[in-house]
């Protein structure tokens, strides 16, 4: 082994980090609770303290190994500026120079992007999208995130904030979203969205129910839980048929907690997708579930930010 890259994934709840080989193996890893750290620099210091130990250990095992850089996935990260800007799911205030903070602390190149775009880069380098130049990754976690690759390149948009497919409006006067608007896709198709659907279908349920519990109940055959999955899948499939008309991807990869439900989600997604698709696309676009292990995938995605840059030319 001649080189390794640091991968860091900052989520609203957990922050995971580790070292990733060029072959896509997670060599070592750790995690922290994001909310245990009020300020960004406190989290950065704690993450880097652990990473430095991981790096030392790797260097003992493989003397002469080179650390190529650190890739970071974080909510509301702007790849053009290196800043995390007003992240509603983090306790940090305003604009945080996260890329520079990691670069200074680890004394290496750092690159940041948002978590969903990192996931898409990970799929392209190590997962289901290897060899594809036109695909979407949809992450179904607390919210709905996306990474759009066209002509082989990630679409960042003019300001770094392209690919907010979770905030495409799918229902006029629909559910209130965290963004302040009504009817955003992620209010229906996400871990929190399916809970809202389930509570509408079965209002007597304890409001602390989560998507994992709904999956369990659906797999056990509870009609309301199965209906919640059918509705979520149908809504997502319909939205994906519209996204297909924008970039005409070769495949759409679903990722995140909700996809653990497997065919419960995938069957209604595929049915609604094909039913609503424009003729010229029918039968051409594959909908797949990510084959990467969920925790590792985030690290692989973040690490691929560095690998794709270093080995591009």
Per CB under 8 A, residues contacting a second copy are: 85, 132-134, 148, 150-151, 153, 155-165, 167-169, 179-181, 238, 241-243, 245-250, 276, 278-281, 284
Choose between 62 and 161: whose C-beta lies nearer to a second copy.
Answer: 161
Residue 64, SS3?
coil
CB of 100 to a second copy, least distance (A): 21
CB of 75 to a second copy, least distance (A): 12
Residue 5, SS3?
strand
Choose between 30 and 174: whose C-beta lies nearer to a second copy.
Answer: 174
Burial of 243 (C-beta count, 10 Å sphere; 0-12/13-18/19+): buried
CB of 134 to a second copy, least distance (A): 4
How many other C-beta atoms can be found within 10 angstroms of the C-beta atom of residue 166? 26
How many other C-beta atoms can be found within 10 angstroms of the C-beta atom of residue 35? 13
DSSP 182: B
Choose between 118 and 165: whose C-beta lies nearer to a second copy.
Answer: 165
CB of 190 to a second copy, least distance (A): 15
> What CA dihedral angle connects 112, 79, 300 and 24, to 10 degrees?
-110
CB of 272 to a second copy, least distance (A): 11
Choose between 97 and 174: whose C-beta lies nearer to a second copy.
Answer: 174
Choose between 7 and 268: whose C-beta lies nearer to a second copy.
Answer: 268
Q: Closest Cα partner for 17 from 53, 60, 64, 41?
A: 53
């Amino acid at each position: 082994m001649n080189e390794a890259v640091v991968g860091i994934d900052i989520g609203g709840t957990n922050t995971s980090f580790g070292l990733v080989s060029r072959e896509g193996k997670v060599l070592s890893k750790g995690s922290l609770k994001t909310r245990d750290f009020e300020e960004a620099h406190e989290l950065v210091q704690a993450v880097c303290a652990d990473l430095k130990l991981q790096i030392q250990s790797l260097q003992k095992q493989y003397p002469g190994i080179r650390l190529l850089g650190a890739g970071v996935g974080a909510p509301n990260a702007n790849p053009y500026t290196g800043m995390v800007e007003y992240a509603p799911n983090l306790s940090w205030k305003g604009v945080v120079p996260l890329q520079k903070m990691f670069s200074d602390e680890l004394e290496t190149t750092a690159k940041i992007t948002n978590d969903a775009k990192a996931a898409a880069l990970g799929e392209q380098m190590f997962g289901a999208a290897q060899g594809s130049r036109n695909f979407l990754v949809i992450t179904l976690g607390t919210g709905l995130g996306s990474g759009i690759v066209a002509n082989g390149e990630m679409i960042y948009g003019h300001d770094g904030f392209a690919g907010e497919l979770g905030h495409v409006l799918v229902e006029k006067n629909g559910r209130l979203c965290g963004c302040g608007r009504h009817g955003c896709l992620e209010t229906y198709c996400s871990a929190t969205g399916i809970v809202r659907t389930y509570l509408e279908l079965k209002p007597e349920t304890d409001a602390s129910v989560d998507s994992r519990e709904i999956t369990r109940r659906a797999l056990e055959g509870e009609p309301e839980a199965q209906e919640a999955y059918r509705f979520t899948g149908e809504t997502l499939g319909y939205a994906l048929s519209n996204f297909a008309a924008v970039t005409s991807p070769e495949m759409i990869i679903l990722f995140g907690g909700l996809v653990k439900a497997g065919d419960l989600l995938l069957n209604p997604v595929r049915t609604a997708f094909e039913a609503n698709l424009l003729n010229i696309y029918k039968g051409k676009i594959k909908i797949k579930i990510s084959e990467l292990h969920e925790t590792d995938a985030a690290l692989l995605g973040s690490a691929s930010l560095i690998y794709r840059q270093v080995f591009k030319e």
